Chain A
């Protein structure tokens, strides 16, 4: 399947992948993340149960301190 991750096209195996699996695969190891799929926020508790499908647009924002 093909998804868009932070505006880049990515080809992944299978028909779907959980948010957690994608984070592991792409080595997003930071704790403070904002994840959106097709414009909708994925709530913190549901990374394991939320699936990403072919054609989805995923954005992962890594938050850092300073302000």
Chain B
């Protein structure tokens, strides 16, 4: 498939991104670069200086809502992508409404309980919809431990072991690898 053919298919696709932190911002940028038609991005948080060690934001965006800042950055990269932002906290009630029309949903939350909430909600409300989750991204090195595996319609990217702690922070290289693995799976699903 040529890149022109890829773009033609992708322009009609919709991807939901739950969380615009390390995983979500980098995954969204990769999907925007290849020409995904519509990205629906939801995050309740604002950009802070501590995010800049891994998240696709700039120093002059500190204080801005993440979803809006990410939209700005995506539009500078590829203005043909339609970006729909929601500066809200995702819940069991609003996830089914906001992500109803998505071809694929990307789980890009930080906290385990939020991941659990989103996965449970998607598996209950949209059991047939592909869901790509990030799991185990903290620290550095150990490229070989990062993998992707499939459980029904759920795709799990990460090492599934490295949880964030003060001594094992999430930082750019590993977070970026997993975020781009997620984007790579999304692309594979969309082009099938």
Determine if B152 and A65 form an interchain contact, defined as CB atoms under 8 angstroms apart. Answer: no
Q: Which residues of A contact B110 (CB under 8 A)?
A: 65-67
Determine if A41 and B120 form an interchain contact, defined as CB atoms under 8 angstroms apart. Answer: yes
Query: How many chain A residues touch B (Cβ–Cβ < 8 Å)?
Result: 17
In the complex, identify which listed stretch (B34-42, B73-81, B160-168, B184-192) lies at the interface while the others stay far away.
B160-168
A55 to chain B, nearest CB (A): 17
Chain B interface size, as a band, is 35 or more
Determine if B137 and A67 form an interchain contact, defined as CB atoms under 8 angstroms apart. Answer: yes
> Does B21 sit at the interface, judged by CB under 8 A?
yes
Given A67-B19, A67-B23, A67-B170: A34 and B116 interface contact (C-beta under 8 Å): yes
Q: Which residues of B contact A66 (CB under 8 A)?
A: 110, 134, 136-138, 158, 162-164, 170, 175
- Taking Cβ atoms with an 8 Å cutoff, the residues of A that contact B are 32-34, 36, 39-41, 43-44, 59, 61-67
4 nearest A-B residue pairs (beta carbon): A64-B163, A41-B123, A66-B164, A63-B112
